[in-house]
Amino acid sequence: IKEYDVRPDDCEEHLVRGLSGGNQQKVIIGREIANQPDLLIAVQPTRGLDVGAIEYVHKMLVKERDAGKAVLLVSLELDEVMNVSDRIAVIYDGHIAGEFKQGEVDEQTIGLLMAGGNENGKTE
């Protein structure tokens, strides 16, 4: 509970389903990280979370990434993708529409690729 910043309301003897959404998400991430996977897949890991929980989840994902683990982040939140990722691949219609290293692309270009456009802003 302390290691993953889970904050139950009154006592530490809670079922996970009785925790807030942010605490549930921290428990899930903590459980997966505790298993020491070589690949961590995080799909919309911060959806519906408060700012504090979002910051914590990002910190944990970056920590795993920096420890050499492969972290696959699937997110529609462009600021999340830009801040957490060291490489970004945009998939549109089942194909990779673009692949970039951190700092090589801006949110506008990613948004265009997500909508079926190309790096020049034209739809294909």
* CA angle in degrees (0–180, nearest 5) for 65-93-109: 60
Q: Look at residue 20 and tell me if it is in a domain.
A: no
pLDDT at 82: 93
How many domains are there within the chain?
1
Q: Which domain holds residue 74?
A: 38-114
Q: Is residue 124 part of a domain?
A: no
Cβ partners under 8 Å of residue 63, min gap 6: none
Record the tokens describing residue 119, joined without a space: 């790096």
Model confidence pTM above 0.95: no
- The DSSP result for 45-65, as a single string, is TTTT--HHHHHHHHHHHHHHH
Reading the chain (124 residues) residue by residue, the pLDDT tens digits are 555 555 555 555 556 667 777 777 877 888 888 899 999 999 999 988 888 888 888 998 999 999 999 999 999 899 999 999 999 999 999 999 999 999 999 999 999 999 998 866 555 5
Chain centroid to CA 97: 20
User: What is residue 106's DSSP assignment?
Assistant: -
CATH of the domain at 64: 3.40.50.300
Whether residue 22 is contained in a domain is answered as: no
